[in-house]
Chains A and B, each alone.
Chain A
């Protein structure tokens, strides 16, 4: 290899930009996170450095790229020490031997919302330090919908009144095909993705997507289509676009849309998802947290950074400010619980269940999305579509 490089020297005279090393280096903490979290981490990192004289470097990596990058880079010593992401990443990362367990002892443990710790626990060990919880909720435009509906029947009535497709106005939309957003409709009536074993671990062979509850939820979706409320092709762009322009009364969405909504100046409010047939709609709860790489040269340092520094009210509040999601750290959560946005999401999340994090989830999204699409386009009956999806998933999991 070196020989060819020497040839390059002769043939090529280039100006190179020598840059800082980007690998896990002893005595320094390297963090990978996406562009929404990088600024606050940099700020927080500087504080840590000022206090302890240990350098902290933050690198922005695209959200969808972090796992892939860690998988390629960490085993060859080029990975970060810490990454930030949602809890459903840990199944895959642990299977790849990329995460280091974090030990949280006694008193510190009790300062976290229990379900957030559960979300990051796998095989009995904790693999992440949570800092925010999130779920979808019902977002509505107060100008169009003064009183939010408490039951789904009410929602349908209000939506019908508002929808006028000729004029481009809509009453209620869920983005499709999106299993994550649709899940509350299925869970309310008893649907689930993977069942649980007696010992609490997930059982990937028990697929609940075709059970009675799920099919009821799917039928509800079809009803929304048939009544002209939900329209085919309502993807994330469309739904949030319409809402931001004041042309949509209600939508099921998550706190990540708040940035756009606020910028657009919509008079919005957040509340929990209406009940279906009198039962609570349980959305998926996602927990954001810090994870330590198993290939880090600074495991103890990283752990100390988390337990001594991040897990403090000040820093958690700073993270919250940028994240606009309910903090998972109880002292911080108490402080911000008067914020109406937080209340809305927190109420919704309180009813929620953590998203499954086993690697088998990867096989679920595709088949489930297809089923939703087929229902929305009225190509298949809901029960047929969901049964097919469950079959596909089962076949994939059992391997060919």
Chain B
């Protein structure tokens, strides 16, 4: 590269980096000003690292990875941390809101005063947009009211109150004009926030037609960290995400709190989990394994056949063969579920016609598993076919030609050359497919829902349940609705299991790489 070019590209780089840094610094300051210290800190670290990468020669390779890594960190890594964080909390039904939000909800609760006093009203607005309200009590008294102020009794026959059309309703006073019904409805948001003081109570708008007198029901005492019921005098203490009274009365809603390892302990100790665990785990492993083997076998075979330049129409064939991949999985799963219907499904109709046999597909534990493997084969072989086609392109044809010259047959070529080379590139993807199917909640759920049920199980468990479908079901159909904290703990544990299996698999691919170098 010429000196001029070099200078140009370096200046360009510094310029761009400089602009970005300036923007970055400005936004980090904004973020820290808004109180997000952690985020600001992490961002600063990120900016520094990125600058280093682009300015230092040593870090040159990483420049290629920066864009992809940015997305990865934000969209994949951060959610993982979030999930781990949630797994240590009780986030779930009854504990969705934060403690502050719950306190706010309670402090916004009111109870009617004993006399159940009700007022009708008129709203008035002046040119500055200020609102004043005249309340009419049931016994004929009128009050002038302003937000947050005490109500003032007034006499409406006073001259400052003007009734233009003499219909008995005041139309304006002191520069304030009356709002009609439509305008009232448009201003309901403002009106709903008005509070007028009366003695130790306050008056607020409760419906389109009435103001009522209320008292605040709860008060949170932040010093002593407890909630007081002002009406009944009961004290509630925050215990494990609920406000509980001394008598054990529990208020809803609860709030989310960190509960440490409770979710994990529950998973490990609970008999509901551990009893079927081995069985479910065994099937999950088998299921993932079979899925990968069958789809890969079929995909590989088809890819090889369709890679043959002498085969006519192969482009059309290939396009037709990816059809399963182009229909949304949920419709195809439901269709297959119908196909396997014992009574009216197509599969049994054909079997009955030709072989006089009816198989209780979705009712029998073993046949249900077979059905699932078939469905997953249908869903998955196009993917395997595509990636194999891709990987095949990277095997130079000279290798094959050289081997033919040496007298090797097609099958031998495949066994000794093609297949090992393919495995080198594809092995990690096979492992990835294994991991994907290990957690393939969708297919199981849509086709069998984990059924058929295991008779006499301690919990609702199905013979085709995989680890993730079984445990998610426990988390979402458990004690009280959805338990996200528990489900997060489950996700984490499953991830650890899958990661271990995969890491072992990756070690194996390292060995493959060695072999391929010698080809």
The answer on A and B forming one complex is yes
Are B452 and A377 within 8 A (Cβ)?
yes
A21 on the interface (CB 8 Å rule)? no
Contact of A233 among B46, B341, B462, B482 (CB under 8 A): B341
Q: Across the interface, do B101 and A97 meet the contact criterion of CB distance under 8 Å? A: yes
**Which B residues are CB-close (under 8 A) to A103?**
206-207
The answer on a CB contact under 8 Å between B27 and A3 is: yes
CA distance A24 to B479 in the complex (A): 31
> How distant is the Cα of A393 from the Cα of B266 in the complex, in angstroms?
18
Q: A366-B477, A370-B460, A380-B456 are in contact. Are A95 and B207 (CB under 8 A)?
A: no
Residue-wise, chain A 88-105 has the 8 Å CB interface mask toward B (1 for contact) of: 000010111110000101
- Indicate which residue in B97, B363, B462, B479 contacts A97 across the interface (CB closer than 8 Å): B97
A52 and B185 in contact, given A2-B31, A373-B452 (Cβ under 8 angstroms): yes
Q: Which residue of B lies closest to A234 (CB)?
A: B343
The closest CB in chain A to the CB of B28 belongs to A3
For A95, give the chain B residue with the smallest CB separation. B94
Q: Does B282 reach chain A (CB closer than 8 Å)? A: no
Which interface class (under 10, 10 to 19, 20 to 34, 35 or more) fits A?
35 or more
Residue from the list A75, A359, A399 in contact with B97, Cβ < 8 A: A75
**Interface 0/1 of A381-398, CB less than 8 Å to B:** 000110010001001110
Closest to A389 in B: B460
Tell whether B272 is near chain A: CB-to-CB under 8 Å.
yes
Give A241's nearest chain B residue, CB to CB: B344
B39 at interface (Cβ–Cβ under 8 A)? yes
- A165 and B188 in contact, given A4-B70, A94-B253, A374-B453 (Cβ under 8 angstroms): no
Q: Is A41 an interface residue (CB 8 A)?
A: no
Contact of B39 among A1, A92, A168, A304 (CB under 8 A): A1
Contact, CB under 8 Å: B70 / A7: yes
Taking a contact as CB atoms under 8 Å apart, the answer to whether A27 and B97 are in contact is no
Contact of B252 among A7, A95, A303, A374 (CB under 8 A): A95
CA distance A338 to B111 in the complex (A): 44
Residues of A within 8 A of B188 (CB): 298, 300-301, 304
**Which residue, of B27, B191, B478, B479, has the highest number of chain A Cβ atoms within 10 A?**
B479
Tell whether B213 is near chain A: CB-to-CB under 8 Å. no
Residues of B within 8 A of A397 (CB): 479
The answer to whether B97 touches A231, judged by C-beta atoms less than 8 angstroms apart, is no
Contact between A362 and B477, CB atoms less than 8 A apart: yes
A365 at interface by CB-CB < 8 Å: yes
A11 within 8 A of B: yes
How close is B119's CB to chain A, nearest CB, in angstroms?
14
* Given A75-B96, A238-B341, A298-B182 contact (CB < 8 Å): no
Residues of B within 8 A of A308 (CB): 185, 208
| Given known A27-B186, A95-B93, contact A300–B360 (CB-CB < 8 A) | no
Shortest beta-carbon distance from B49 to chain A in Å: 12
CA distance A301 to B456 in the complex (A): 53
- B338 CB-CB contact with A under 8 Å: yes
Contact status B185-A97, CB under 8 Å: no
Which residues from A are CB-within-8-Å of B331?
A: none
Question: What is the CB-to-nearest-CB distance from B76 to chain A, in angstroms, rounded to a whole number?
Answer: 13
For A52, the closest partner residue in chain B by CB is B185
Q: Which residue of B lies closest to A91 (CB)?
A: B481
Which residues of B from 423 to 471 have beta carbons under 8 Å from A?
A: 451-453, 455-460, 462
User: Once the chains bind, are B189 and A231 in contact (CB under 8 Å)?
Assistant: no
In the complex, which of the residues A71, A370, A395, A396 contacts B453, with contact meaning CB atoms closer than 8 Å?
Answer: A370
Chain A nearest CB, measured from B273 CB (Å): 9
Q: Which residues of B contact A366 (CB under 8 A)?
A: 460, 473, 477
B131 within 8 A of A: no
**A353 close to B (CB within 8 Å):** no
B422 in the interface (beta carbon within 8 A): no
CB of B102 within 8 Å of the partner chain: yes
Bound form: Cα–Cα A103–B116 in Å: 14
Also in contact, A399 and B473, with CB within 8 A (given A238-B343, A238-B344):
no
- The B-contacting residues of A in range 330-363, CB under 8 angstroms, are 359-360, 362-363
Interface assignment of A299: CB less than 8 Å from any CB of chain B: yes
Q: In whole Å, how far is B3's beta carbon from the nearest beta carbon of chain A?
A: 27
- Which A residues are in CB contact (< 8 Å) with B272? 395-396, 400
Q: Which stretch of B16-24, B156-164, B487-495 is in the interface?
A: B16-24
Within the complex, which residue of A7, A97, A242, A384 is in contact with B253, where a contact is CB–CB below 8 Å?
A97
Q: Are A97 and B30 in contact (CB under 8 A)?
A: no
Are A97 and B96 interface neighbours, CB within 8 A? yes
CB under 8 Å from chain A, chain B span 93-111: 93-94, 96-98, 101-102, 105
**Is A294 among interface residues, defined by CB-CB distance under 8 A?**
yes
Residues of the B chain whose Cβ atoms lie less than 8 Å from the Cβ of A75: 96-98, 101
Partner of A98, one of B96, B192, B342, B476: B96
A residues near B28, Cβ cutoff 8 Å = 2-3
Of the candidates A238, A307, A362, A399, the one whose C-beta lies within 8 Å of that of B207 is A307
Task: List, in ascending order, chain A residues with CB within 8 A of B456's CB.
Answer: 380, 384, 388
Residues of A within 8 A of B460 (CB): 366-367, 369-370, 392
B477 touching A4 by the CB < 8 A rule? no
**A3-B47, A7-B70, A299-B192 known; A232 and B93 CB under 8 Å?**
no
How many angstroms from the CA of A103 to the CA of B211 in the assembled complex? Answer: 13
Q: Given contacts A238-B344, A304-B188, are A97 and B208 in contact (CB under 8 A)?
A: no
CB distance from B494 to the nearest CB of A (A): 19
Residues of chain B in range 178-210 having any CB-CB distance to chain A below 8 Å = 182, 185-186, 188-189, 191-192, 205-208
**B260 on the A face (CB < 8 A):** no
Q: Which residues of A contact B84 (CB under 8 A)?
A: none
- In the complex, whether A10 has a CB less than 8 A from a CB of chain B is yes
Q: Which residues of A contact B192 (CB under 8 A)?
A: 299-301
Residues of chain A contacted by B133 (CB below 8 angstroms): none
Question: How many angstroms between the C-alpha atoms of A209 and B270 in the bound complex?
Answer: 25
Assess whether A6 is interfacial by the CB under 8 Å rule: yes
B486 CB → nearest A CB, Å: 11
CB distance from A393 to the nearest CB of B (A): 9
Within 8 Å CB of B459, what residues of A? Answer: 367, 392, 395-396
- Residues in A with CB closer than 8 Å to B93 are 92, 95-96, 359, 362
Q: Does B43 contact A (CB under 8 A)?
A: yes
> Which residues of B are found within 8 Å of A94, using beta-carbon distances?
252-253
Q: Which of A10-44 contact B (CB under 8 A)?
A: 10-11, 26-27
9 residue pairs, one from A and one from B, having the closest CB atoms: A97-B253, A2-B27, A370-B453, A300-B192, A366-B460, A3-B24, A301-B188, A96-B96, A400-B270
A-B pairs with beta carbons under 8 Å apart, 6 shown: A2-B31, A6-B27, A97-B101, A97-B105, A374-B453, A400-B269
Additional A-B contact list (11), CB under 8 Å, known A235-B341, A304-B185, A396-B272 = A4-B43, A4-B70, A4-B74, A75-B97, A103-B206, A232-B343, A242-B344, A298-B188, A369-B460, A379-B453, A395-B458
- A positions within 8 Å CB-CB of B: 1-4, 6-7, 10-11, 26-27, 51-54, 71, 75, 92, 94-98, 103, 105, 165, 168, 177, 231-235, 237-238, 241-242, 294, 297-301, 303-304, 307-308, 359-360, 362-363, 365-367, 369-371, 373-374, 377, 379-380, 384-385, 388, 392, 395-397, 399-400
